[in-house]
Amino acid sequence: MAYLTDRKRAMGLGSAKSGSAHHWSMTISSVALLILLPLFVFTFGAALGGTYEEILAYYARPFPAIVAALTVLVTFKHFNDGVRTLLEDYVHGLAQKISIVVMTCVSYGAAAVGIFAIARLAL
Q: What's the confidence (pLDDT) of residue 14?
A: 59
Q: For the segment 39-53, what is each residue's pLDDT rounded down to a tens digit?
A: 999 999 989 999 999
pLDDT at 7: 74
What is the pLDDT at residue 1? 55
Say how many residues make up the chain.
Answer: 123
- pLDDT tens-digit series, residues 3-20: 777 777 766 665 556 778
Q: By C-alpha distance, which of 66, 72, 79 is closest to 123?
A: 66
pTM here is: 0.82
Residue ranges of domains in the chain, CATH in brackets: 22-122 (1.20.1300.10)
DSSP string across 27-88: HHHHHHHHHHHHHHHHHHHHHTT--HHHHHHHHTSHHHHHHHHHHHHHHHHHHHHHHHHHHH
